Amino acid sequence: MKALLSAIKSQLKADLTYVRDSDIFITEDERVIPDTVKFPAVGLKDGEINYDVEYQGAGESSELLVKHIAYVQLEKPEASIMGDTSTEKKGILDIVADIKDSLRENKLSGQADEIWLVSESESELLADEELAIQMKMLILRYVRQGTY
């Protein structure tokens, strides 16, 4: 899982050029965002690992689930979802589409043999007295054949 998370993080840093490298991070929880993060941001969270002794006749395999969480903070109505054309800031739907484009069929230098989109959550508001952030999560399944 560690190598997979590192590979995903590197790929997103290369492709999502509008997100600062330090704002693509591995998180302990979907709702925990480091204080130093600026928006937009992307969090990665390790998920379940499932093992299978027989995979399409190829022997052992493992399925690693990874949560990919997009975060935005935009002040204008609708902008956190749809983006802001006047400032060219992306909304949550744009960022999620960019994550899917970056990782779709990307074997991450051998870290995965297959990649499948498992689910996409509805967007959700995280707010406290100081901050309002829109978040949306993708779960992708990375399949590895061979020993686990």
Q: How far is residue 89's CA from residue 79's CA, in Å, rounded to a whole number? A: 8
Cβ-Cβ contacts under 8 Å for 4 (sequence gap 6 or more): 64, 66, 108, 111, 112, 142
> What is the residue whose two structure tokens read 């999502």?
16
Q: For 2-145, CATH number?
A: 3.30.2000.10
The tens-digit pLDDT sequence of the chain (148 residues) is: 999 999 999 999 999 999 999 999 999 999 999 999 999 999 999 999 998 866 555 568 899 999 999 999 977 889 999 999 888 999 999 999 999 999 998 999 889 999 999 999 999 999 888 889 999 999 999 998 875 5
Instruction: Give me the pLDDT at residue 77, please.
Output: 81
With 0-12 / 13-18 / 19 or more C-beta atoms within 10 angstroms meaning exposed / middle / buried, residue 69 is buried
**Domain boundaries along the sequence of the chain:** 2-145
